[in-house]
């Protein structure tokens, strides 16, 4: 499943292709792909302008400009000033790769398109309406029901590509979004596990998945990260994989960051000192940033918004290297299971406490 770096890379690649484009039509080729309010999806998406593209955890988000609002006139890929400025900070080097944010500030600009998408802090998720807390977004169920976000979860095999009008949908194309420039956005998903859904303030307040998402690892401060595990029962890798504890981390980046932090994946989280957890946070941030700079990791199905494979898999130190020599000590890497996931680690370099 694509993890945080892969979804971030896809969002950054789609942003210049979609921002400011009007969705003129929607063709649903597999009804099960549309979750939530299917009637609202069919009624509210056509005609809306995409004001920005971002991410929350592993969920890709497209911001929909208000119908009839100042952004609703479209106006080409540049979009509004706010949407144009969302993808890059003011101090981005002129020679920086266009789709790879060079630092944490720009990463957040990528994810927080026009300042209206979901944010997070140490306390938990922030809904688009501006409220915080893992206990849920504000706007009670009776709040604004006009969808302002289009969420896409890629799951195992989902892909999002923009194609010219000459390209026909294929067997695995589940939803087609027609754009005002003649191009089309395809959501392809071979295994049909992925989904799309519209999100209003009321949806964000009642959708358990959204309400329970933990903080973003690239935004939370190290001491607050350490506090997430204070007194927690459970193995550290299992908690890293738990999206209600920290959002966006999967098997690859849990293994890689734990190796760099010299912590065994099966170590009890509550027995790790705050200092060691702060070290883990630093390595986790480094691993995520390095992967984003490499456009993610391609193991099987993942491709970015341009159809290209990522390259971070060429830098794996433990993931997928079971039985091979440890890059640090030369001893054979061990394999186990944590939270039902295959786990590779070095018994010599990584410690339980």
Q: Hey, which residues are catalytic here?
A: 2-3, 58, 341
**Sequential DSSP letters for 263-285:** B-TTSBGGGS-HHHHHHHHHHHH
- The CA–CA distances, whole Å, from 18 to 29, 64, 299 equal 21, 11, 27
Helix (H) or strand (E) holding 306: none
Contact 346, 330 (CB under 8 A): no
- Cβ contacts of 94-102, under 8 Å, gap ≥ 24: 98/16, 99/9, 99/12, 99/13, 99/15, 99/16, 99/295, 99/304, 99/305, 100/9, 100/12, 100/292, 100/293, 100/295, 101/8, 101/12, 101/292
159: left (phi over 0), alpha (psi -120 to 50) or beta: beta
Rg (CA), the chain: 20
Cα distance between residue 149 and residue 162, in whole Å:
19
Contact 131, 138 (CB under 8 A): yes
CA–centroid distance for 105 within its chain: 16
Contact 213, 243 (CB under 8 A): yes
Closest CA to 66 of 85, 49, 41, 79: 49
């Amino acid at each position: 499943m694509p993890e945080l770096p892969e979804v971030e890379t896809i969002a950054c690649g789609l942003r210049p292709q979609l921002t400011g484009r009007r969705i003129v039509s929607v063709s649903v080729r597999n009804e099960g792909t549309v979750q939530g309010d299917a009637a609202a999806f069919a009624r509210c998406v056509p005609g809306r302008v995409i004001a920005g593209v971002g991410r929350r955890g592993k969920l890709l988000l497209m911001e929909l400009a208000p119908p009839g609002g100042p952004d609703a006139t479209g106006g080409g890929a540049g979009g509004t000033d706010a949407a144009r400025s969302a993808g890059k900070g003011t101090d981005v080097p002129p020679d920086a790769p266009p789709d790879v944010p060079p630092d944490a500030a720009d990463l957040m600009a990528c994810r927080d398109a026009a300042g209206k998408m979901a944010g997070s802090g140490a306390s938990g998720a922030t809904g688009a309406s501006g409220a915080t807390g893992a206990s849920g977004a504000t706007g009670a169920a009776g709040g604004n029901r006009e969808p302002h976000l289009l969420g896409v979860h890629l799951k195992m095999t989902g892909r999002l590509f923009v194609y010219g009008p000459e390209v026909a949908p294929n067997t695995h194309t589940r939803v087609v979004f027609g754009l005002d420039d003649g191009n089309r956005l395809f959501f392809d998903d071979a295994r049909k596990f992925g989904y799309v859904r519209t999100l209003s303030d009321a949806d964000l307040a009642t959708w358990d998945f959204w309400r329970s998402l933990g903080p973003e690892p690239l935004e939370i401060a190290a001491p607050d990260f350490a506090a997430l595990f204070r007194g927690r029962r459970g193995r550290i890798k299992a908690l890293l994989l738990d999206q209600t504890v920290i959002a966006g981390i999967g098997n690859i980046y849990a293994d890689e960051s734990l190796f760099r932090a010299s912590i065994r994946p099966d170590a009890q989280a509550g027995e790790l000192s705050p200092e060691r957890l702060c070290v883990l946070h630093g390595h986790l941030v480094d691993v995520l940033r390095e992967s984003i700079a490499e456009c993610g990791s391609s193991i099987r199905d993942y491709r970015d918004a341009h159809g290209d494979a990522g390259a971070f898999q060429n830098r794996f130190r433990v993931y997928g290297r079971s039985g091979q020599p440890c890059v640090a000590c030369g001893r054979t890497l061990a394999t186990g299971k944590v939270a039902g996931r295959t786990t590779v680690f070095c018994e010599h370099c990584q410690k339980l406490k």
